[in-house]
Amino acid sequence: MSCESGNCLVLRARYKTLRPATPFQGDEIVLARHAETIAEVFPDWVERCRLDPSLYQPFDLNVPVRVPRRMNMVQAYQSDPPVSEVGRIMAQLFARELVTRNAIPKAIFCAPSLACLQTAVDIQNFVGKDCGRICVDAALATERNGAAHWLNDKEIAQLKCNVDDGYTPEQSDGNDKSLKNIVEGMKKLAPKLKKNGIGEKQYDMLSTLQIFQECVDNET
C-alpha cells in the first residue's frame, strides 16, 4: 500500500486459483526426509535439558515432552537426536496429505536413526491400520556419525513400531554418507518394492531413481 497526496493506492497480488491435489494412482514412490529434529532448533538441547540417565528437564514447548531411555543417554542423543514437537506435527500433516491424495503406504522404508523412526511411526499411526509395516534399513541413512548409537531391536520395540521383523536390510557402505549412496541403496530396494506392488504400474522405480540421481549429480 502506498499513499500520495492523501490518495491511497492498494496493491493487490494476483494468486492462481488453488485446485484439488491430483490423487495418487497407488503405485507411486514418495521420498521424504525425516521431520525436524530438536538439534536443528537447539544445537545445545542436551545440555539445556540437563539430560542424564536419571534426569530430563524440557525447557521449551518445542522440546519433546519425554524421550526414550537409551544406552549411553548423553552420547546417544548428541549423535542421534529425536524430532521436535513441531516436527511431529509436520509428520502428521504430511501423513494427512498422503491420506487426502489416496496414497496409503503399502510399506514404509526408513533409516534406523531415531528421527527417521519417529517420523515413520507418526505417519503410520496417523494413516491407521491400512498403512504398511515399517522396514528399517541402514542403506537409507544419510548421516552415519551416530550409527554407533542407533536404536537396537529392543529399543525399537519400545517405540511400539509396527516393524516388519522379517525384512532383511541391504548391505551399505558405512563410510559413504553421500546422497549418491542413498540412491544406490534405494536401487537395491527396487525388487522388494515391486513384490509389494509398488512402482510397477505407472512409474518405474529405477526410472524414478535415475531422475533423483541426476538431481544429486547436478547438486554436487
Determine the pLDDT at residue 137: 86
Query: In this structure, is residue 6 part of a structural domain?
Result: no
Query: In this structure, is residue 213 part of a structural domain?
Result: yes
30-84 pLDDT tens trace: 888 899 999 999 999 999 999 988 889 999 999 999 998 888 889 999 999 999 9
Grid cell digits, residue 16: 492462481
d(CA 17, CA 167): 44
Determine the pLDDT at residue 39: 96
Query: In this structure, is residue 13 part of a structural domain?
Result: no
Query: In this structure, is residue 11 part of a structural domain?
Result: no
Of 144 and 128, the structure prediction assigns the larger pLDDT to: 128
What pairing do the DSSP bridges indicate for beta strands 134-136 and 108-110? Answer: parallel
Give, as one character, the DSSP assignment of residue 110.
E
Domain tally for the chain? 1
pTM for the model = 0.74
pLDDT at residue 216 greater than cutoff 50: no
Determine the pLDDT at residue 23: 72
Mean pLDDT computed over 146-152: 83
Determine the pLDDT at residue 175: 54
Query: In this structure, is residue 140 part of a structural domain?
Result: yes
CB 68 within 8 A of CB 159: yes
Indicate the range of 29-38, 43-52, 160-169, 195-204 predicted with least confidence.
Answer: 195-204
| Residue 145 identity | N
Q: Give the confidence band of 139 by pLDDT, cuts at 50, 70, 90.
A: confident
pLDDT at residue 200 greater than cutoff 90: no
Most confident of 148-152, 170-174, 209-213: 148-152
CATH code of the domain in which 98 resides: 3.40.50.1240
Query: In this structure, is residue 14 part of a structural domain?
Result: no
Query: In this structure, is residue 5 part of a structural domain?
Result: no
pLDDT at residue 153 greater than cutoff 70: yes
Question: Which stretches of 48-204 are assigned E, i.e. beta strand?
Answer: 108-110, 134-136
Domain range spanning residue 89?
A: 26-219
Grid cell digits, residue 147: 550409527
d(CA 67, CA 81): 10
Q: Give the confidence band of 140 by pLDDT, cuts at 50, 70, 90.
A: confident
pLDDT at residue 114 greater than cutoff 90: yes
Of 189 and 77, the structure prediction assigns the larger pLDDT to: 77
Determine the pLDDT at residue 160: 76
Query: In this structure, is residue 90 part of a structural domain?
Result: yes
d(CA 146, CA 164): 23
Indicate the range of 24-33, 111-120, 127-136, 179-188 predicted with least confidence.
Answer: 179-188
